[in-house]
Amino acid sequence: MQSRRLRLGLAAGGIAAAVLLFIVLRGEDGSDSSSTSTAAPTKITFRDGAPVGGVRKIDVARGDPVRLDVTPDVPAEVHVHGYEIARDVEAGQTAKFDFTATAEGVFEVEVHHLVNGGEESGVQVAELNVAP
């Protein structure tokens, strides 16, 4: 009877150690902190008020890092719908985004021209597709 308890205790300890090792090796701590990926960002620049090359398609899996550098040619607010991340920039400045794709779905990245401190119509610059 004591031998059986010892075996069950060792098995449970082994499973717990394996789960802990898996979590540590994957680098997931359950937080929604910003990504620190070394991957190159998707760079989007503007000419004459429009994104050069048109709307970008960005495909990632849930949990992947997302890095965007958006440089409008007018004062603007750049934001990622669904993630509620926004940056105000002056003409020629770069709005940098570095986050983890935590929500699945299709999300627009838009640039709204700022006129007298207020947002004008938005221009879609990217479509972020986050797969499960």
5 to 1, 15, 16, 53, 132: CA distances (angstroms): 6, 15, 16, 66, 40
The strand pairing partners of 114, in sequence order, are 119
| Architecture per CATH, 42-131 | Sandwich (2.60)
Order across the sheet with 65-71: list the strands.
50-51, 42-47, 65-71, 95-100
pLDDT in tens, 54-109: 999 999 999 999 999 999 998 889 999 999 999 999 999 999 999 999 999 999 99
Residue 58's pLDDT is what? 94
The band of 6, judged by pLDDT with boundaries at 50, 70 and 90, is: low
Domain boundaries, the chain: 1-30, 42-131
Residue 26's pLDDT is what? 47
DSSP 72: -
Residues 128/55, Cβ–Cβ less than 8 Å: no
